[in-house]
Each structure stands twice: as C-alpha cells, then as structure tokens.
Amino acid sequence: MSPVLTTVADFKSTHWLEGPRLLAACGRKIMEVQGMFRNAELSGFVQEAHKLAHAHDHPDVALVPLLSAWAVPSGPLTGDCLQTIIDTILKHLRAVDPVDGLYLSLHGAMGVRGIEDPEGEILRQIRAVVGPDLPIVVTYDLHASVSRQVVQQVQAIVAYATNPHRDHARTGAAAARLLLGLCQKTLKPTMAWRSLPMLLGGGTTIDILPPMLGIFQRLRHWERQRKILSGSVLMCHPWNAHPETGWNILIVTQNDQALAEKLADEMAERCWQVRHEMPPSFHTPEAAIRLAKEARLARKLGVVVLADASDVVSAGAPGENTALIEALLAHGRELVSYVPLRDPQVVAALWDQPLGSQHHVKIGAKLDKARGKQLDILVKIHERRQSHGVGRTLVLVHEQVHIVVVEGPALALAPSFFTNAGLNPWRADVIVVKNFFPFRMFFAAIARLTLYVKTAGVTDFDAAHVLDFAGDIHPRDEVVEWRTTDRRRRLG
C-alpha cells in the first residue's frame, strides 16, 4: 500500500549480520537485533540447538550462520534488494561443506515489486542449490501469507502464537527441535494446510482476549500431545498486496498426515466461525483530543497515548501523516504533546540551524504525496539528536505541540523513541505512537488512557479493499464458504 520502496540500504542501516558476527549475536543476554530484540527467533534456535546437542551427546552438531537482515516495515522491496539478500544467503551456503538441514526465519509478509510470492522465490533459489531433499524448516510471523510454493518446498512451518508478538525465541526453539529431529531421523513431520478467504475477523486478534484466546488455547492443548508437533493460526497482514492473502492454518504431526488434515480442518472451521467479529472502530482526531483533555487524572498520573491507526509504521505505513498534528494545533495547543513524523527534507533543511531559532516549514506528505496533507507551520527548534535506526532527529515545537521529526522510519512504539530525542515522556500530556499492539507493552508503566485514532492512511482496515485479490474475500465481499478457495490455493 505504501509507495516508499525498501532498498538494501534500509536493511543495512537497521540490521545486517553475516557469518560469525551473526552467531555471536545469538548468545544469551545479547542483543540479537540492535535496538529491537534481545532474544528473537535465531537466538531461540541457536540456544535450543546447543541444548539438544548437549542433552543427546551430539557434540558434532555445528551451526553455520548465514544472514540476518531486518528493515523497518515500509513499501515493497525492490527486486534488486531481494536478490541481494538471496545472493548473500547462497554465498554463505556455497562456502561451506554441504549442510544437513536449513532453518529459515522468514517473517512471511514481505512484498517485493514485481514478485508475487517472495518467500516462495527465496525457497526456489535455495532449493536450486541445496537440492530437493535437504530438510528445511521455516518460521513465520503470524501475519505471514502462506503459499503453495513454500508449503511444497519445506518440511515444516511454525508461526508465532502470540499477538502482540512475544514468543520469537519459543518459535525459533520449536524450529530447532524439528530440524534436529529431521536431521537425526528421529522425527518425520507431516504438515497439513488450510487457507481461508478472510482478511479480517477474530475481533482485536489479540491472543489473550476472546475470541482468539480459545483458538490459541486449543492449539497449545494439541501440542501437549506427543503426535502433534506444532499448530499455527496465521491471521495475515491485511495490507499486503498478495493475491491469495487470508488466514491460514498449519498443523504439523509426527508421521500422521491424516491426523494433521483432520485437525487443520477443525481449526479452519473454528477460525471461519469468528470471521464476523470485526476489529473495534476508532476515534476521529477531534474526538480523541477532546477525550484526552477530559482525562485530567490520567494526564496527571501519566500520559494519554494516541495510536495513529492509519499510519502504523510497523505495519508498513510511511509515518508522515499530519492529521493528529493538525488537530492538536487546532484543538489541543495547551496539551504538552509529543508527535512523531518522518520528514527527511525538513531535517536536512533545518539540521544546521541553531537551537531556539524559528522557521516556517511545510511538514508531512513528502513520501506518499497522493495521500498525505502538508501543513504550513511556524516552529522553534527545540532539540537535535541522532539515533540508531531513525537517523537525524529534530524536535520542533509550536506552543506545547512537540513534533519529533526523523529522517528514517518513525518507528515510534516505545518511550525510548522520545527519550532518544531528548524528551521526558512523563512530562507529556499526550504521546502519539505509530503502532497497533506492541506499544501497549512498552507504555504499560506510563499510559493511563489509550485511544486508537483513525486519520485516513494506508493501514486503515478498509484500505486493502482496493487491492486485486484472486476471488472474493471476507469482509469486502460476501463469502459463504471457504472450501472452494482453500482447494484452489492448496491444489491449484
């Protein structure tokens, strides 16, 4: 949905580790992904593999690190960017003796310009080098798209079981158990897949709240049985221009295809039943500011957090929506507010100007000119900083409205985004985040009221309705049954 293309430079400036440096980042209590994760999938995988090797007296288990690359979600990757990533993986694979198995932590909701199924393309090129028989286990975010090309080329897929996600390491560890079992021939995973023509459903889609709570509890109950190795429900990334997007179910059993098929069927039916439970509706900017003003006690004891649900950077939005800034200038100038904004041009133009100087600037709508609205305002330069991932940062102030302008992606989901800019979150009345779920964990200590705001942008739930899907999809279209689409997706 976003027109801002993602290049290799976006990965290299965020996170790019190869070979031994990657393995070193997967140790205990070490930052695996700088500025983001201490213990993600690769750490979970590496630590579990070491543990298993030790427990079963296999000191000969050797790990061969290939590549770990992250960029902040944005618009599609360029074809060159994807090919550089694949070439780097293949370069490391070719440089070592043949491996016994391969683990790929793919996330699974990547979009690449001109390539319909990027994860399938990664698998295709890797299979061309390692051959058709090498055991491959893949882990996914639960917002991944699942394709026939991927399912056919791997032995098992395991996805996160939490939303907001907090089981990255557990997911990597599950992959280690499956892959080592495959390599040592103690496991023979059999996987069943079901795919639903369904973009939205499941209410808030949070794993600890109904209706998804019961679904995830059922999966965990199954996994306690010896024959069931893994159960995943993937609720898709609803703004990914994947023609076969939708919810997916993946069940992995120990050498029992019939059992996997039966459970996948049952789980697909269960997910289809919650399709009418829509996400909550969100406030307008004006209503949210009125509620923030009324919440005197909340502001006194902490802050009111406004989640800009239309401009969620962690879901791929540009992070340059000015609707909340405009509303705060019109209705909430007296509130001490911190608002993130990505505007590399304004940062470049004002970077050398002295602190305290005043300037007329046009902010916003530089990256996605078709959607955003530019604001013309008088600001004072309040702070100048530089930090990992977001690059050069300026805090521009108009009365009590503090605009944190960054040149890189405005991944504003934790108080550290604001402290890195020299601001004290406790002194704010209102803090704007560009995120759906994870911010709630990071802001738990300080947020006294959280309001979701719809400001019109690429991460609106109905924004994906303009995309070109293969066939009807709920809730955009009326879809009475899921099995026809499921069969087409799985069997062609």
Residues that bind Zn ion (CB under 5 A): 141, 143
**Tokens, residue 176:** 């280690």
Instruction: Tell me the C-alpha distance between 128 and 120, whole Å.
Output: 12
Nearest distance, CB of residue 248 and Zn ion, angstroms:
13
| CB-nearer residue toward Zn ion: 140 or 272 | 140
Cβ proximity to Zn ion, 143 vs 275, nearer residue: 143
User: Which C-beta is closer to Zn ion: that of 108 or that of 181?
Assistant: 108
CB of 205 to Zn ion, least distance (A): 10
Q: What is the DSSP string of 206-266?
A: -TTSTTHHHHHHHHHHHHTSTTEEEEEEE---TT---TT-SEEEEEEEES-HHHHHHHHHH
The C-alpha atoms of residue 148 and residue 389 are separated, in whole angstroms, by 35
Nearer to Zn ion, 202 or 285 (CB): 202
Place of tokens 């319909």: 116
Supply the minimum distance, in Å, between the C-beta of residue 314 and Zn ion: 8
According to DSSP, residue 351 is labeled T
- Considering the complex, what minimum distance in angstroms separates the CB of residue 143 from Zn ion? 4
Residues 370-401 as b or e (16 or more Cβ within 10 Å = b): ebbeebebebebbebbebebbbbbbbbebeeb
**How many CB atoms are located within 10 Å of the residue 241 CB?**
15
Q: Phi/psi of residue 371, each to 5°?
A: -105, -40
CB of 72 to Zn ion, least distance (A): 13
**Closer by beta carbon to Zn ion, 52 or else 161:** 161
Integer Cα distance of 423 and 402 in angstroms: 9
Burial readout 416-447 (b: 16 or more C-beta within 10 A, e: otherwise): ebbebbebebeebbbbbbbbbbbbbebbeeeb
Return the number of other C-beta atoms located less than 10 Å from residue 294's C-beta. 12
Per the CB < 8 A criterion, the answer to whether 363 and 343 are in contact is yes
Closer residue to Zn ion in complex, CB, 143/283:
143
Distance CA(335)–CA(338), nearest Å, equals: 10
Q: Which is nearer to Zn ion, 10 or 141 (CB)?
A: 141
| Smallest gap from residue 197 Cβ to Zn ion (A) | 20
Residue nearest to Zn ion (CB): 143
CB atoms within 10 A of CB 8: 19
**CA-to-CA distance for 102 and 318, rounded, in angstroms?**
34
Least distance in Å: CB of 165 to Zn ion?
6
CB of residue 159 to Zn ion, shortest distance in Å: 9
Distance (Å, whole) CA 196 – CA 235: 10
Q: Which is nearer to Zn ion, 6 or 337 (CB)?
A: 6
State the nearest-atom distance from the C-beta of 489 to Zn ion, in Å: 21
In this complex, which beta carbon is closest to Zn ion, that of residue 110 or of residue 335? 110
